[in-house]
Each structure stands twice: as structure tokens, then as C-alpha cells.
Structure 1
Amino acid sequence: MVPRLIVVTGASAGIGKATAKRFADNNDKVLLIARGRDRLTRAVEEIEASVPGADLEPLALDLSDAASAQTLQHHIKATGLPVNSLLCCAGSVPRSEGGPEGTDVAATLTEWQEAYEANVLTSVIAVEGLLPLMSDGGSVVLYSSVAAYRGSGGTGGYGAAKAALHSYVHTLATRLGPRGISANAIAPGYVAGTELFGDGLPAARETMLVRQTALRRAGEPAEIAELGFYLCSPPGGYVTSQILQINGGSHHGA
């Protein structure tokens, strides 16, 4: 039986790594993409240690650069397999910040540009680059955030960038529907162990985020990965053009 080829971006840590592992558990062939070669190598080694015989292939690539699309296409063609599913987990919170009041315009612009490049362009470049190589009946999953609904503090570039993915998902679902390809977004709340916040959240902020949930706990990367796996499985095939929140009840409804 020919394995499915699954492409996961942002696969060196957190939700992306957990997602790659979930598909490896299913005996799929997984292409793991991330910018940092060393971290990506460690992620592959960790997954292989827990999933003996996993069919994993790492590719160090910066998907905020449009030229990376051609590199990705060449790499996929070399596998001889069509892409069954693409899960765009790459993203980050900008390190540059202007303050909410009296902010410097240049600093604010830098923050918004960084947020857009890291959270929107990484998805758009991967999707548009791989669509010609995707099999009909496949799946595209983008990763948004609860911040798209509630804002992200500061000048708001991160939350706004994630919200841009919602419109893109609906556009993709309409474009790809005739090919039987589903397109959805997952919007997680606070998930522990993702490295999204660099060196970690201050204890007081982490406590606040946990208290905001109905379940009174943080999410786990494996829980988010399971939802992504479902959306790329036959039972999830009729789900498309949806933004699925998974946040422990920290934000209710759409």
C-alpha cells in the first residue's frame, strides 16, 4: 500500500512536532519542515525514538521567503508521491513591540510585518506552492489562534495576522472544493510546551490564561494534533471552510 505523504510546517517543536508524530503513528510518510536544521533534526530523532520505523523526512526551509516554494516543489517531486495533506503549523509571536500608547510608528510597522511574514506568508507560500502537487481529495489545515477572536495585546499584529488566515481558508475551500480538497483552520487557545512565547510565559500570565478556561487547564500539543489528524482523515472529509476552536472554553462560540 502506497503511504500518504503528509507535509507539516513548523514541525521542529510544539504543535507542529506533535502533529508530525500523530501522522507517523498512522504509518504515513511525513515531511517535516522548519527553519532551524538542528532543532528539526532533534525533533525527528525524538519522534523516531517513540515511533520505531517512522517514515520521516526533514527539510530545513524558511517559508516566509517566496523562493522557498520552488525548493519545496523540487523536494516533493523527488519523493514521487502526491501531497495528501498539508498542515501549516509554522508561526510565532513577533519579538518587536511598540507600546499600546505613544507607540513608535516604525516599531509598530516592524511588529506587524514580522507577524504577517511569520503567520500568514508561511502558510500562503506553502499552500500555493504545493497545490499543484496535491492529490484530489486531500486536506489543507492552517493554524490560527484564539488571538484572532480576542486580540493579542500590544499593537495587535499577531492576532490580526491569524485572523487573516480565516478569510484565506474560506477562499481556499471554495477554490479547492471541486477537487474534493478540504480547507480548514484550527484556532487553539493557550497550549503548554509550544515555545510560542520564546523563553516562556511569566508565571502570573500563565496562571491567568489557565483560569480563563472552563476546564481550568492548559491544552496539550497532542490534543491539537489529534484535531488536525481528524481533519485529514476520511471521517473528517466533509468538514471544510471551518474555523475550529480548541481552547478549553476560554472563548465561547464563533
Structure 2
Amino acid sequence: MRPLAVISGGGTGIGAAIAQGLSADGFDLVLVGRRAAPLAETASKLDGANTVVADLRDPGSAGVLLEAVGDREVGAIVNNAGGYLGRSGDDLPEIARQWRDTFDTNVMTAVVLTETLLPRLRRPDGRVILFSSIAAQRGGGGPYSAAKAALHGWALDLAVQLGPQGVTVNVISPGYVAETEFFAGRMTPHAHQSRVDQTLIGRAGSPEDIAQT
């Protein structure tokens, strides 16, 4: 039987590229996200891919995740869901809302998916992957940077917990990946070039670069 991978944020960008790579490597897939259309579009191009429309900020999504997995063992949990959330004002309630929503979007989505599927994770040789950001080390994103940094500490705790069972836990921190919804409509030519100039290879990363990591 083909191994199974579950990917959050699997409909677009880096998540879709990961799905394509794992499918080529012989994995069946469960792609999870909040929007049905991009999930369905990506899944339609892949063998053995199913989709789950769920909001992973809500622990109540655990039931639909378990239903999608059924009685199968999960070989890899890929936590790719997340994003930057702005705010509409500088009053304290709005600042607090932005922080809470950002942590829900970038941290709780990973917690809900991982903790839901841990009992089904293959032991040994299971994989847990968390997507952080270069902003976790460099800052510059306020609550987004802080939320992504939180994943690193949690990953270490998971590694200590699961390592003796033969499970690896890794954090990937992409830099500037231009071809993603994260940057869609936000980058001027000057801002794009400024980010490219900070790279060592003189170009923006691609979703495929990250998927091959």
C-alpha cells in the first residue's frame, strides 16, 4: 500500500508543490485547506489525492480529518497552513485581535493537525514537518514573526517526545518565495528587487525549491 501524507495549505503555492513532489514519490495524499476550489484543482492533477475542506484553527475539525484518514497509517504530516494577517487600526483591542488571529492561523493550525493525527502517525519512520519563515529569525513581521518563532520551540518538544519512537520533526523556514499567495499583490518591482538582492543566489525562491528541501 502506498504511504499517506496529510498536507495543510495543500491547494496552492508551496503546499501544492509539496503535494506534487510527494505524489511523484508514491504517496497518497490528503490535502487540507479552507477553500474547496484550489484544493480540488491541485488534487485533480495528482494520483491518489483526496481533499478536506476544514478550518484548522478550530479543534472541531479533528473529526473530519480522522474521517478522511480512515484506518490508514499516516507517513507524513506537513503543516504548511499559515499567513500574514494585518490590522485595521492601532487601538489595543485591534492589536490584540491581530496577535490572537495570527497565532491561531500559524500555530494552532499546526497544533490541531499534528495532535489529531499523532495517534495515526507511522512509528518508526514517521515525519512531522512544520513551516516557519525566515521572519522567525530576522523579525520584521510583528505577530507573524513571533508566531513562526513559536513553532521552533514546539518542534523541539515534539522531537524529544517522538524521536525515541523513530519519528523525525523538522522546521523549514523559507525566505522570499515570490510565486505564492503570501506575496500576491503586495510586491512592487522595487520591493521585489530589494528582497532578491538579499539572497545569496540572486533570485527569488520558488515553491518547487522549498518542496525539494
Alpha-carbon shift at residue 84 of structure 1 (Å): 0.5
1:208 to 176, 194, 207: 194
- Separation of aligned partners in 1, 2:26 and 2:118: 23
- Separation of aligned partners in 1, 2:72 and 2:155: 25
What is the number of equivalent residue pairs in this alignment? Answer: 212
- Separation of aligned partners in 2, 1:121 and 1:16: 18
Asked if 2 retains the 8 angstrom alpha-carbon contact of 1:93 and 1:197, the reply is no
Counterpart of 1:149?
A: 137
Asked if 1 retains the 8 angstrom alpha-carbon contact of 2:30 and 2:68, the reply is no
1:11 equivalenced with 2:10 (yes/no) = yes
Alpha-carbon shift at residue 198 of structure 1 (Å): 4.5
Asked if 2 retains the 8 angstrom alpha-carbon contact of 1:27 and 1:55, the reply is no
Give the aligned CA root-mean-square deviation in angstroms. 1.3
Segments of structure 1 that go 5 or more residues without pairing to the other structure are 49-53, 228-254
- Separation of aligned partners in 2, 1:14 and 1:89: 10
1:86 equivalenced with 2:91 (yes/no) = no
Alpha-carbon shift at residue 97 of structure 1 (Å): 5.4
- Written as runs of structure 1 = structure 2, the 5 A alignment for 1:15-164 is 15-45=14-44, 47-48=45-46, 54-77=47-70, 80-96=71-87, 98=89, 103-136=90-123, 137-153=125-141, 156-164=142-150
Give TM-score scaled by structure 2 length.
Answer: 0.95
The Cα offsets for residues 148-179 of structure 1, whole Å up to 9 and x where unpaired, read as 011134xx010000000000100000011121
Alpha-carbon shift at residue 190 of structure 1 (Å): 0.5
Counterpart AA for 1:74: E
Segments of structure 2 that go 5 or more residues without pairing to the other structure are none
- Separation of aligned partners in 1, 2:68 and 2:126: 19
Asked if 2 retains the 8 angstrom alpha-carbon contact of 1:69 and 1:126, the reply is yes
